[in-house]
Amino acid sequence: MEPFTKLTAIAVPIDQANVDTDQIIPARYLGRSREQQVEGFFHDMRLDLNGRPREGVTLNDPAYKGAQIIVGNHNFACGSSRENAVTTMVDNGFRAFVAPSFGDIFFNNCFQNGALPIRLPTERVARLRVILHELPGAKLAIDLAAQTVVGPDGQTDKFDIDSFRKDMLLKGTDSIDFTLGYQQDIARFEDGQRRDMPWL
Amino acid sequence: MAEPRTMFEKIWQRHVVVDRDDGYTLLYIDRHLMHDGSAAAFARLKERDMKVRRPDRSFATPDHYILTSSHRPQDIADPQQRHLVEVIKENCDAHGVTVFAAGDPRQGIIHVVGPEQGLTQPGLLMVCGDSHTSTHGALGALAFGIGSSEVTHVMATQCLWQRKPKAMRINVEGRLGDGITGKDIILAIIGKIGAAGAVGHVMEYTGSAIRALSMEGRLTLCNMSIEAGGRAGMVAPDDTTFAYLKDKPYAPKGAMWDTAMAFWKGLPTDPGATFDHEVTLNGSDIAPMVTWGTSPEDALSVTGRVPDPASAADQTRRESMQRALDYMDLKPGTPVEQIPVDRVFIGSCTNSRIEDLRMAARIARGRKAQVPTWVVAGSGLIKQQAEAEGLDKVFREAGFEWREPGCSMCIGVNGDTGVPGQRIASTSNRNFVGRQGRGVRTHLVSPAMAAAAAVTGRFTDVRKMLG
Ligand code: SF4
């Protein structure tokens, strides 16, 4: 997995709360190859039924071209467990997501794909979205080791992240290899369970 | 005396393989369920040249991509879709995993099949690469959805790293009225706490209204925990649970049943155990529910009216309500009972079990569908049972279509979608924009309400139709 250390990049605001993973990648793309899924990225939110870009959608605004960060709202990426929601964003260049809260499964899925979900207080995220609307193309600077996000207004915010997740991201650790280091513990558990829950 | 513990805590503690100082726990997975979306996870396992560690703890069935017009894979026109339905069998065979493949009467929606086969049991830790894995908590299991990389991780190690979620209790007291179902309860709960109301929490449903629910009702309830943002949902096992589980194919038998029972009886939350969050609802206040918007939290009583964004608490909410109303093509103030529907879908892992079909048939009997209506049983066995009870005849006589089991119009990846602009009364779990096809407008309801909409052509308070 590609490590995540620092990222200074254009951030694009998405104001809606409860943006679900069906919006991030509509279900009809799920049975396709990863390459084919790239165009599924927010497809129906970006384009109307005739394939024309919708007005007022930040993701269509050329001023945010090259963005690698999304600043969302409450319960960002809620809904289905589809990991394609993360991979389609990664494949479209996005590596970090800032929101007051996330869908739990999406949040976990990010770490498997070298992407960083950052929770910041509601008011601060709202402020960042306002700034990004006012100054399209403005950048955020994220430093994972220091656990900081610097906004276009120069304000630095600290964010929380478990040291477990942080180390894995910083080093790009493969989680299966990591867990296989606990083989003996797993085998011991299985022995115990054979006695404890013999009906399984 | 030991600290009183919640049921969630007891199950969690029993599955700890490693507890790290940084707050992460390696948990052992008792059952891993898979569906036809698991091809990518198998492919990653193959890249590493690894085998499934516990094929005896893994079970699979194709549900998402299977057709509901025919279960013959060769009838699937789209090659990628056909591949997914077929490759799950190849993958499972190669790894020694039990698969209920297309053509097997035990095939069905994975969250219907698990409980039906007795794979789902109290006190187990279960995962599946699907967010509605929360369903299995209805039997007192701790069950949650995971992403595709985590699926590969479970295949390879039978374990998963997790940080302990918080615990939340949802207490529903009182008697439900006739025609009020688990679906109405959960929509009322989500309407109250919101689509993010339980993020980071495992929900336990308690109270007399929950205890009185059948197993099917509890499965519906727990199924939609994820729509409140919950990591999992659970109901303590009791006589309803044990009676349901007894004699299921994979349930313990003979002396093993008694051994298991001794463990199961110790699972319910101890008196005095504390939750991080508690919510109480009055069950007797709950009316048949209908969603009006594009999030399951947009739920209201069938007796209500479409809300006005002007009444929203803040601007973000106002804008999102307006967006939802535009998409749904609804005007504020419209009585729900005046909203016509174009189509009805009865099915999905939320509402495709025998009790759901019986309830829908009760309303359909002797009446006629006013709009195209599909009934898709949750599994081959449910379809057989419904046919043995003559429910298929009731549906056919009412002009409903009786189809082969699968996820079908819940998600439409098999091609079962509506057309843009269509308004569908659906017993599924998500009314997201485009969930049932581009531009399709989904209203979530119970099977009874769906059948009532089918025969009246609009939302109708099913309580008026119960004879
Ligand atoms: S029925 Fe719908 S929600 Fe349930 S597993 Fe299938 S697609 Fe997912």
* pLDDT interval class at A84 (50, 70, 90): very high
**Under 8 Å CB-to-CB from B442, ≥6 apart: which residues?**
B291, B424, B426, B428, B430, B431, B432, B435, B436
The mean pLDDT of A175-193, rounded to a whole number, is 97
Say whether A115 sits in a helix, a strand or coil.
coil
Question: Which residue type occupies B7?
Answer: M
Instruction: For residue B438, give the nearest of A23, A52, A193 by alpha carbon.
Output: A23
At B355, list the tokens. Answer: 């009790």
Does any CB of chain A come closer than 8 Å to the CB of residue B199? yes
B65, B190 in Cβ contact below 8 A?
no
Instruction: For residue B31, give the nearest of B130, B158, B122 by alpha carbon.
Output: B158
Say whether B264 sits in a helix, a strand or coil.
helix
Percent of chain A whose predicted confidence (pLDDT) is above 70? 100
A185: nearest CA partner in chain B: B17
Q: Which of B130, B224, B351, B403 to mutate to test the pocket of ligand 1 (most atoms within 8 A of CB)?
A: B130
CA B53, CA A180: separation in Å to the nearest integer? 11
For the CA of B352, the closest atom of ligand 1 is 1
Set of chain B residues whose Cβ sits within 8 Å of the Cβ of A189: 17, 28
Does any CB of chain A come closer than 8 Å to the CB of residue B272? no
Domain span including residue A87: 6-173
A77: left (phi > 0), else alpha (psi -120 to 50), else beta? left
Tell me if A13 is assigned to some domain.
yes
Question: Which residue type occupies B14?
Answer: R
pLDDT of residue B233: 98
CA A158, CA B201: separation in Å to the nearest integer? 24
Task: Report the separation in Å between the CA atom of B295 and the middle of ligand 1, taken as the mean of its atom positions.
Answer: 16
CA B353 from centre of chain = 11
At A108, list the tokens. Answer: 């976990």
**Under 8 Å CB-to-CB from B453, ≥6 apart: which residues?**
B341, B344, B371, B425, B445, B459, B460
Does any CB of chain A come closer than 8 Å to the CB of residue B383? no
Does any CB of chain B come closer than 8 Å to the CB of residue A184? no
Please give the mean pLDDT across all residues of chain A.
Answer: 96
Say whether A104 sits in a helix, a strand or coil.
helix
Task: Report the separation in Å between the CA atom of A5 and the middle of ligand 1, taken as the mean of its atom positions.
Answer: 37
- Interface-testing mutation among A1, A20, A29, with chain B (most B C-beta atoms within 10 A): A20
**CA separation, residue A180 to residues B26, B128, B159, B198, B412 (Å):** 11, 21, 10, 32, 38
CATH of the domain at A37: 3.20.19.10
Give B20 to chain A, closest Cα distance, Å. Answer: 9
CA B243, CA B262: separation in Å to the nearest integer? 15
> Which of B145, B158, B323 shows the shortest C-beta gap to A81?
B145
Q: Which of B68, B111, B135, B414 to mutate to test the pocket of ligand 1 (most atoms within 8 A of CB)?
A: B111
Tell me if A194 is assigned to some domain.
no
Residue with tokens 């209500």: B304
CA A61, CA A12: separation in Å to the nearest integer? 9
B39: left (phi > 0), else alpha (psi -120 to 50), else beta? alpha
Task: Report the separation in Å between the CA atom of A74 and the middle of ligand 1, taken as the mean of its atom positions.
Answer: 24
User: B45-50 — which CB contacts under 8 Å span 24+ positions?
Assistant: B45/B152, B45/B155, B45/B156, B48/A176, B48/B156, B50/A176, B50/B155, B50/B156
Task: Report the separation in Å between the CA atom of B68 and the middle of ligand 1, taken as the mean of its atom positions.
Answer: 14
The binding-site residues of ligand 1, defined as CB within 6 angstroms of any ligand atom, are B 63-64, 109, 111, 130, 132, 348-349, 407, 410-411, 428-429
Residue with tokens 């698990």: B114
> Which of A45, A78, A105 shows the shortest C-beta gap to B195?
A78
In the DSSP assignment, the letter for residue B108 is: B
Tell me if A34 is assigned to some domain.
yes
Cross-chain residue pair A176–B84, CB shorter than 8 Å: no
> pLDDT, tens digit, for every residue of A155-173?
999 999 999 999 999 999 9
B435: nearest CA partner in chain A: A22
Residue whose CA is at the smallest distance from ligand 1 atom 5: B349
* DSSP result, B373-429: EEEE-SBHHHHHHHHHTTHHHHHHHTT-EEE-SSSGGGT-TTS----TT-EEEE-SS
CA B169, CA B172: separation in Å to the nearest integer? 10
Q: How many helices (H) and strands (E) does chain A have?
A: 9, 7
Instruction: For residue B203, give the nearest of A132, A104, A32 by alpha carbon.
Output: A104
A111: nearest CA partner in chain B: B149
Q: What are phi and psi of B364, to 5 degrees?
A: -75, -30
Question: Which residue type occupies B57?
Answer: R
Does any CB of chain B come closer than 8 Å to the CB of residue A91? no
Q: What are phi and psi of A52, to 5 degrees?
A: -90, 140
**CA separation, residue B201 to residues B26, B191, B204, B259, B413 (Å):** 18, 17, 9, 31, 30
- Which B residues 2-41 touch A at CB under 8 Å? 14, 17-18, 20, 22-24, 26, 28, 30, 37
Cross-chain residue pair B149–A112, CB shorter than 8 Å: yes
> Which of B22, B147, B231 shows the shortest C-beta gap to A83?
B147
B430, B408 in Cβ contact below 8 A?
no
Pairing verdict, β A156-158 and A148-150: antiparallel
Does any CB of chain A come closer than 8 Å to the CB of residue B155? no
Tell me if A19 is assigned to some domain.
yes
Give how many domains chain A has, as a whole number.
1
pLDDT of residue B315: 86
- The beta strands (E) that lie in chain A are given as 6-13, 69-71, 96-99, 116-119, 139-143, 148-150, 156-158
Set of chain A residues whose Cβ sits within 8 Å of the Cβ of B52: none
**The pTM is what?**
0.96
pLDDT of residue B2: 82
> Which of A78, A82, A83 shows the shortest C-beta gap to B196?
A78
Tell me if A18 is assigned to some domain.
yes
Q: Which of B66, B67, B109, B382 to mutate to test the pocket of ligand 1 (most atoms within 8 A of CB)?
A: B109
pLDDT of residue B1: 61
Percent of chain A whose predicted confidence (pLDDT) is above 90? 98
pLDDT of residue A1: 82
Question: CB neighbours (10 Å) of residue B94?
Answer: 14
pLDDT of residue B296: 97
pLDDT of residue B337: 98
CA B107 from centre of chain = 17
Give A35 to chain B, closest Cα distance, Å. Answer: 13
B299, B290 in Cβ contact below 8 A?
yes
CA B167, CA B135: separation in Å to the nearest integer? 17
B157, B58 in Cβ contact below 8 A?
no
Domains and CATH numbers, chain B: 1-287 (3.30.499.10), 291-462 (3.30.499.10)
Task: Report the separation in Å between the CA atom of B427 and the middle of ligand 1, taken as the mean of its atom positions.
Answer: 11
Does any CB of chain B come closer than 8 Å to the CB of residue A79? yes
> pLDDT, tens digit, for every residue of A90-139?
999 999 999 999 999 999 999 999 999 999 999 999 999 999 999 999 99
Residue whose CA is at the smallest distance from ligand 1 atom 2: B410
Our CA dihedral for B28, B118, B350, B139, rounded to 10 degrees, sits at -70
Written as tens digits, the pLDDT of chain B (467 aa) is 689 999 999 999 999 999 999 999 999 999 999 999 999 999 999 999 999 999 999 999 999 999 999 999 899 999 999 999 999 999 999 999 999 999 999 999 999 999 999 999 999 999 999 999 999 999 999 999 999 999 999 999 999 999 999 999 999 999 999 999 999 999 999 999 999 999 999 999 999 999 999 999 999 999 999 999 999 999 999 999 999 999 999 999 999 999 999 999 999 999 999 999 999 999 999 999 999 999 999 999 999 999 999 999 888 889 999 999 999 999 999 999 999 999 999 999 999 999 999 999 999 999 999 999 999 999 999 999 999 999 999 999 999 999 999 999 999 999 999 999 999 999 999 999 999 999 999 999 999 999 999 999 999 999 999 97
CA B167, CA B156: separation in Å to the nearest integer? 29
Tell me if A181 is assigned to some domain.
no
